[in-house]
Amino acid sequence: MVLLHGVGLDRRMWDRCLPALAARHRVTLVDLRGHGASPAAAAGVSLAELAADVGALLSGPTHVVGFSLGALVAQRLGLDRPDLTASLTLVSSVAGRSEEERAAVARRQELAAEDFGASAWAAVDRWFSPAWRAQDPGLAQRVLDTLLANDRASYLACYRVFATADTGLWRWLPRIAAPTVAVTGEHDPGSTPAMSHRLAGRISGGRAVIVPGARHLLPLECPQELADVILTHTGAHPGSPTGTDTGSHTGTDTGAHTGQESHRS
């Protein structure tokens, strides 16, 4: 299993899910290009390049779990390298944005270019409900610190991919053959439940799961609920039929990423 983070974040966003997932799978965490310990992203980086980076790390069929930008990378990997994609779990993914939704993400992209700090604060405000932020203020601060620590040019390059790539993916989604589940929070303002239903309906056999009461950061806000969805989908949940690791990863670093870890309990 490989876990792919969202734009401006890094592999640490999966820390709360990792114990449950690593108990059933060999799990590899990567920093996408332009994030964490990986090399910078050029201004014209494409979704195909980000997906190729991940594909270069995999030696065989792998359960691919992607969050937000990582979910778009997972979709492209499923299209370009079906031989490497045992299943797709698309967490908090955008899909087929409306004109209004495209305009909203374009405004956020402009804010990131004009005032990076204000953009980071706005993201935390969108992602954390007031109650969750009051309950776990340290987590909100760590997420903010991660966003602010980004190389700004890399962040803007990857945010452009996040803001635009779903349009190009949309027509090709019916070609995805891997078993797919799209999961998002009931109150996610950017990766809405309607998007997850739309995405699942576009992929043959796709399913949508909506987590009640949650916002965007499912791996941090609802780690156990998300892990249950992932493990059930991959057939590795204790209550699911097989409980086997069908998507093992070698953990070999081909050089595409420096920020990579493998875990197996």
- How confident is the model over 187-211, as a mean pLDDT? 97
Domain count, the chain: 1
Q: What CATH number did the domain enclosing 120 receive?
A: 3.40.50.1820
Judged on CB neighbours under 10 Å (0-12, 13-18, 19+), 110 is: exposed
pLDDT above 50 for 244? no
Q: How confident is the model at residue 263 (pLDDT cuts 50, 70, 90)?
A: low
Tokens of 223: 């780690």
- How confident is the model over 150-171, as a mean pLDDT? 97
Close Cβ partners of 110 (under 8 Å, ≥ 6 residues apart) = none
pLDDT above 80 for 256? no
Q: Give the H or E element holding residue 108.
A: helix 99-114
Amino acid at 116: F
Question: Beta partners for 152?
Answer: none
Tokens of 100: 């209004």
Q: How confident is the model at residue 10 (pLDDT cuts 50, 70, 90)?
A: very high
Residue ranges with strand state E in 74-221: 85-91, 180-185, 207-211
pLDDT above 60 for 249? no
Tokens of 244: 């086997």
Model confidence over 91-121: pLDDT tens digits? 999 999 999 999 999 999 999 999 999 999 9
* Residue 131 structural domain: 2-263
Q: In 3D, which of 221, 205, 201 has the Cα closest to residue 213? A: 221
**Res 236: pLDDT:** 73
Tell me, yes or no, if the pTM score tops 0.85. yes
Percent of the chain scored above 90 by pLDDT? 88
Least confident residue range of 8-22, 211-225, 233-247: 233-247
- Averaged pLDDT score across all residues of the chain: 91
More confident residue, 245 or 175: 175
- How confident is the model over 1-10, as a mean pLDDT? 98
pLDDT above 50 for 257? no
